[in-house]
Structure 1
Amino acid sequence: MRADYALGGDGGRIADARRHAAAFLDQAHAGHRLPVSARARDLTQLVVSELVTNALRHAPGPARMELRVNARAVEVVVWDSDPTVPTARTADAGRIGQHGLEIVKAVTEDLFIEQEPVGKHIMARIALADTPGGADADRGPA
């Protein structure tokens, strides 16, 4: 299952992207009986928020978000037109802001960043179940 969304340049699009992600996971759970834990749903919305915010804030042109899900994970893929590959900064509790990529790296199973001829894409993978077969695995949307 997958879905693709064009992202506009205003701040409201960040909230729209989070809503799309939540609805996508609701559909994966209800329509395809995939085990979507409340934690996976929350982390997916957090990752979407961070990646989409960065794309809209730092890239000069259009951006897109793709959501993909399989039996064990959801993938959030954000493409933007800026070819600059972001890097996570070293942890600094005194720094205000610029912690987005650190947060994404901390809460995802995998994070891939790849330059393209025009821009780059960032793919973050989040496990659907808290633990394989665990109590939270089939709780569904919160």
Structure 2
Amino acid sequence: MTVAPPAALAPAAPAPGPARAPTSAAAARSRVRDLLRRAGVGLDSVIAADVLLVTSELVTNAIRHGGGLTAFHIEIADDALLLSVADANPHAPVPRTGTPDRPGGYGWPLVKRLADRVDVRSHGGGKTISAELHLA
């Protein structure tokens, strides 16, 4: 009779599935901060500040104006951070200037200024905004 070691008898860990979308801009920034840290990007750098600001703006806009955040993806490829944020509104962001009655309107122009590339794609009942920010 052969006895398997205890580790062999333990159930296999479930396969990782798609990560849930963060529920706030702070949670999204935390995920990005962790990825930057693992990639060796200094968190006190201007590059990290720009990446975190773009993350905040896209997630906040999805929550406030896009009917909610439906998907969130980050990865580093070829010395660039690739960020995708999906929401439930198929309409592309519209730049606007804030007024005393309705302040704001700076986020979308800021995203377009800080990111090296921004792409907006409508699909089904929503859209995905992808941004690329070079890390070097």
Using the alignment, how far apart are the partners of 1:74 and 1:5 within structure 2?
19
Task: Note the C-alpha offset of 1:41.
Answer: 1.2
Give the percent of matched residue pairs that are identical in Structure 1 and Structure 2.
31
Indicate the residue corresponding to 2:55 in structure 1: 48
Higher Rg? 2
Indicate the residue corresponding to 2:3 in structure 1: none
Q: Contact 2:98–2:105 at 8 Å: present in 1 too?
A: no
Indicate the residue corresponding to 1:6 in structure 2: 21
Using the alignment, how far apart are the partners of 1:109 and 1:39 within structure 2?
14
1:92–1:112: structure 2 CA closer, same or farther, 3 Å change rule? same
Task: Note the C-alpha offset of 1:62.
Answer: 4.5
Using the alignment, how far apart are the partners of 1:71 and 1:93 within structure 2?
41
Choose the corresponding residue for 2:93, options 75, 86, 90: 86
Deviation readout 1:62-112 (Å, 9 max, x if unpaired): 4221102113210111001111111233x6798831110000011111110
Using the alignment, how far apart are the partners of 1:5 and 1:78 within structure 2?
12
Q: Contact 1:109–1:127 at 8 Å: present in 2 too?
A: yes
1:64–1:43: structure 2 CA closer, same or farther, 3 Å change rule? same
Question: Unpaired runs of 5+ in structure 1?
Answer: 30-35, 130-142
Q: Contact 1:5–1:66 at 8 Å: present in 2 too?
A: no
Choose the corresponding residue for 1:19, options 8, 21, 30: 30
**What is the root-mean-square deviation of aligned Cα atoms in Å?**
2.3
Question: Unpaired runs of 5+ in structure 2?
Answer: 1-17
1:61–1:22: structure 2 CA closer, same or farther, 3 Å change rule? closer
Q: Contact 1:44–1:76 at 8 Å: present in 2 too?
A: no
Q: Contact 2:59–2:69 at 8 Å: present in 1 too?
A: no
Structure 2 counterparts to residues 1-142 of structure 1, below 5 A? 4-8=19-23, 13-29=24-40, 36=41, 38-89=45-96, 96-129=103-136
Report the residue type matching 1:7 in the other structure: P
1:93–1:43: structure 2 CA closer, same or farther, 3 Å change rule? farther
Q: Secondary structure of the equivalent of 1:68?
A: strand
Higher RCO, Cα 8 Å, sep 6+: 1
Q: Contact 1:114–1:122 at 8 Å: present in 2 too?
A: yes
Using the alignment, how far apart are the partners of 1:4 and 1:44 within structure 2?
20
